Amino acid sequence: MRSDRWDSSPFSAEAWRGPPGDERAPPDRRHDAPDPDPGFDNAVLDWNQIALDAIRHASITNPPEDAPYVSRALAMQSIAMFDVLQAIADRPGFLVSLDAPAGISADAAVSAAAHEILVELFPDYRRALDRAYEARLDEIRDGRAEDQGIAFGTKVAEAVIAARADDGSEELAHLGLVAGHEPGEYRPTPPDYTLAIQPDWGDVKPFVLASADQFRPGPPPDVTSAAYAEDFRQVKALGAVDSQVRTPEQTLSALWWSNDEDSYTRVGQWSDIADHILAEQGRSPLESAYLLTMLNVGLADAITACWETKYHYEAWRPVTAIREAGEDGNRATRPDPDWLPLLPATPDHPEYTSGHSVIGALAAKVMTDFFGPIPFSATSETVPDVVLRFDDFDAAAREEAMSRIYAGVHFAYSTEAGLVMGAQVGDVVVDAFHERFDVPSRDGHMV
């Protein structure tokens, strides 16, 4: 991701020269958009989609709910559904191991568990969650199996909530004043110069990692170094709102991966990708719950580790660095006091490391472990008319990381460190799941 790749496309196809809706886009990367209602006949996938709806609602009504909160919420819901199905199979859960009554409705238990978690975490969205819950229960035959399933699912969810009640997340302020004054130190960014998001999230107890700083990388390059100047020049050229060297294809990549406010967020995008591949392959509820738990627990720990690093180093964003380059003591950088990134708003937290890069690398590790290195297609809520196809999960993670340079919000050294951190967390999470659980087979049995 260094300067020798400035003009390289993240796509294998010939560079696309039109705007996001242009029909001349590369045929091997663009496909007709899938039905927005996939009609999953799988309670686990249905409830994961309902969770993404709750996240969209939260991003509209409460913008500070960023990647940390979202990742914890998705992890807790996935755990509740997985632990329900593990109990029904007479197997230990991730957080909760209870004896399930014989003959209960698995769909009712999964729905009750998922609903209970989401109502706890997204209380402002309760009416919509209740409607979704009632609709799902209407599809289940009334009777003892349903009633016992509801009771058991609720019991498991309550135990999951209790298990995470003291993880430290509830005591943290959503926003904090982080405003350095020296070269290289983070300070609020234009246009709104808002407070920093979740400054203490690195103190939250991880699900699998021994500690949030387990894989903290070394510091970013000193602002007086040649390495810093190289990456400074790269993002200044490629990431500017009026860049003359960024290709239309690279602009699309930056927007496609952004998933900021009013979306399922950067974390939710990978959960959505998992849902659709699971549905396409006809995977069982138990398989689906296994993967989503491994993915969402991994994402939660990766985000916690990333946030610990961000606020440990508190490094400035490119927009600050470029505007104030005259004060950085580096003769190889040049200031531009009017410089703006492609994205209209720089994320409201320190630059190092890149959250998108950590997320993508973690997801690639987990998804490759479960599915293998398969090609796949995916959508984005920020560019909804564009469906992209990737050779494998690693390729998608690399593109997601590079997109943050095109967007003008990260330096290459931060994306590289993020990819390493995400892969390290992914290895730990995958190993933990392999050690603790049998992998569900295609027919839903354990092997």
What percent of the chain has pLDDT above 90? 79
Distance separating alpha carbons of residues 412 and 2, to the nearest angstrom: 6
Compare 277 and 171 and report the one with higher pLDDT. 277
CA atoms lying within 13 Å on the CB side of residue 97: 7
> Quick one: pLDDT at residue 13?
28
Q: Could you say which of 3.40.50.720, 3.10.20.90, 3.40.30.10, 1.10.606.20 is the CATH number of the domain covering 17-436?
A: 1.10.606.20
Handedness of CA 383, 384, 386, 389 (dihedral sign): positive
> Quick one: pLDDT at residue 32?
36
User: What 8-state DSSP symbol labels residue 381?
Assistant: S
Residue pair 192/345 in contact (Cβ under 8 Å)? The answer is: yes
Residue 418, judged by CB atoms within 10 A of its CB (0-12, 13-18, 19+), counts as buried
> Quick one: pLDDT at residue 25?
35
Whether residue 173 is predicted with pLDDT greater than 90 in this model: the reply is no
Rounded mean pLDDT, 286-298: 98
Whether residue 123 is predicted with pLDDT greater than 70 in this model: the reply is yes
Distance separating alpha carbons of residues 216 and 206, to the nearest angstrom: 14
pTM, 2 dp? 0.90
Residue showing tokens 């899938």: 34
Distance separating alpha carbons of residues 86 and 290, to the nearest angstrom: 9
The token duo for 30 is 């663009």
- Rg over alpha carbons for the chain, rounded to the nearest Å, is 22
Distance separating alpha carbons of residues 252 and 260, to the nearest angstrom: 15
User: What 8-state DSSP symbol labels residue 201?
Assistant: G
User: What 8-state DSSP symbol labels residue 185?
Assistant: B
Residue showing tokens 């600050």: 320
Q: How confident is the model at residue 57 (pLDDT cuts 50, 70, 90)?
A: confident
**Closest among 308, 297, 312 to 203, alpha carbons compared:** 308
Whether residue 263 is predicted with pLDDT greater than 90 in this model: the reply is no
Min mean pLDDT across 25-34, 136-145, 411-420 is at: 25-34
Scored b (16 or more CB within 10 A) or e, 236-268 reads: bbbbbeebeebbebbbbbbbbbbbbeebbbbbb
> Quick one: pLDDT at residue 370?
97
Whether residue 21 is predicted with pLDDT greater than 50 in this model: the reply is no
Residues 6+ apart with CB under 8 A from 274: 48, 291, 292, 295, 367
| Separate counts of helices (H) and strands (E) for the chain | 13, 4
Distance separating alpha carbons of residues 153 and 438, to the nearest angstrom: 22
> What is the per-residue pLDDT across 84-112, written as a single tens digit (0 to 9) for each?
999 999 999 999 999 999 999 999 999 99
Distance separating alpha carbons of residues 232 and 226, to the nearest angstrom: 10
**Closest among 146, 53, 152, 25 to 101, alpha carbons compared:** 152
> Quick one: pLDDT at residue 41?
80
> Quick one: pLDDT at residue 444?
46
Longest dimension (CA), the chain: 76
Distance separating alpha carbons of residues 14 and 134, to the nearest angstrom: 49
Can you give the residue ranges of every domain in the chain? Answer: 17-436
> Quick one: pLDDT at residue 438?
87
Whether residue 28 is predicted with pLDDT greater than 50 in this model: the reply is no
Residue showing tokens 């396409």: 280
Q: Which residues pair with 315 in a beta bridge?
A: 185
Q: How confident is the model at residue 61 (pLDDT cuts 50, 70, 90)?
A: low
Cα distance from N-terminal residue to C-terminal residue, the chain: 40
Whether residue 445 is predicted with pLDDT greater than 90 in this model: the reply is no
Q: How confident is the model at residue 5 (pLDDT cuts 50, 70, 90)?
A: very low
Handedness of CA 246, 251, 252, 255 (dihedral sign): positive
User: What 8-state DSSP symbol labels residue 188?
Assistant: -
